[in-house]
Amino acid sequence: MNVNQKSFPMKNPIIVALDVDTRDRAIELADGLTDIVGGFKVGPRLCLRYGEDLIREVAARGPVFVDNKHFDIPSTMIASVRASFDAGASLVTVHALSGREALFKMALLEKELNQIRPFRILAVTVLTSWDQSSLPSVMTAQPISQHVVDLARLVQSSGLQGIVCSPHELDLLQNMNLYLVTPGIRFSMDDLGDQKRVMGPEQAIRRGANALVVGRPIIDAKNPVETATEYVMALYEKK
């Protein structure tokens, strides 16, 4: 398996979530990890403090995944995704629950922006911090796995190919020609934090993930470079 090609536009499948509060710490981590990991994820925690300048700074060190999970009227989503692209993002998230019209317009926008440089819009299905017991009451009539499959089909029929799901749903999404990004990646000895549907990196890749998001196990480690290297090397271990 050529993991670099599989995870493009990331350099390899490991995306480090820069879930920190300061620009200096985010840049320090990015500087130390740029030659090891496939890219970096930034979300509202940093974007609301530092805006597009921070996205540009991180993008100078590696591909950036802007994870603000846009869920709004289509025109606002279009403007927000375009702004992230202009700041240097290679991946951006929207919510699959935003509906067919919004997702169709996202697919048109993705096609347009790909004429400039490689870019993917990912549709978030069900958060990995949820399990069946914590689903909103309006969603409890069917299992999480069915919600993810239904949303994935909606995304695909709208013209997008990128999905964010937990590793537990990867088996259900095979043969759909989707680009699958999975948070909730942990070694067995790692603290789960608020993640509930988790899996190891090598197992998630074998089940079809294109890219894996790892945050606290790396950024909170005593030696983030060493820990990130362990995650990357796990993808090359003999099956």
| Rounded distance between C-alpha atoms, residue 124 and residue 97, angstroms | 8
Mean pLDDT (the chain) is: 91
Higher pLDDT among residues 35 and 131, named by residue: 35
User: What local confidence, expressed as pLDDT, does residue 137 receive?
Assistant: 73
| Rounded distance between C-alpha atoms, residue 69 and residue 188, angstroms | 28
| Rounded distance between C-alpha atoms, residue 202 and residue 197, angstroms | 16
| Rounded distance between C-alpha atoms, residue 229 and residue 225, angstroms | 6
Structure tokens at 43: 């979300």
3 pLDDT band, cuts 50/70/90, is low
171 pLDDT band, cuts 50/70/90, is very high
Catalytic annotation, residues = 69
239 pLDDT band, cuts 50/70/90, is very low
Assess contact for 41 and 13: CB atoms under 8 A: no
Which amino acid, 46? Answer: L
Under the phi-then-psi rule, with left for phi > 0, alpha for psi from -120 to 50, and beta for the rest, what region is 121?
beta
- What is the architecture, at CATH level 2, of domain 3-233? Alpha-Beta Barrel (3.20)
Structure tokens at 77: 């989503």
DSSP bridge pairs for 91: 65, 120
Q: Is the pLDDT of residue 181 over 90?
A: yes
pLDDT tens digits, one per residue of 56-113 = 999 999 999 999 999 999 999 999 999 999 999 999 999 999 999 999 999 999 999 9
Q: What percentage of residues in the chain have a pLDDT greater than 90?
A: 78
Q: Is the pLDDT of residue 191 over 60?
A: no
User: What local confidence, expressed as pLDDT, does residue 196 receive?
Assistant: 53
User: What local confidence, expressed as pLDDT, does residue 143 receive?
Assistant: 85
User: What local confidence, expressed as pLDDT, does residue 1 receive?
Assistant: 43
Higher pLDDT among residues 4 and 185, named by residue: 185
Which amino acid, 92? Answer: V
pLDDT tens digits, one per residue of 148-165 = 999 999 999 999 999 999
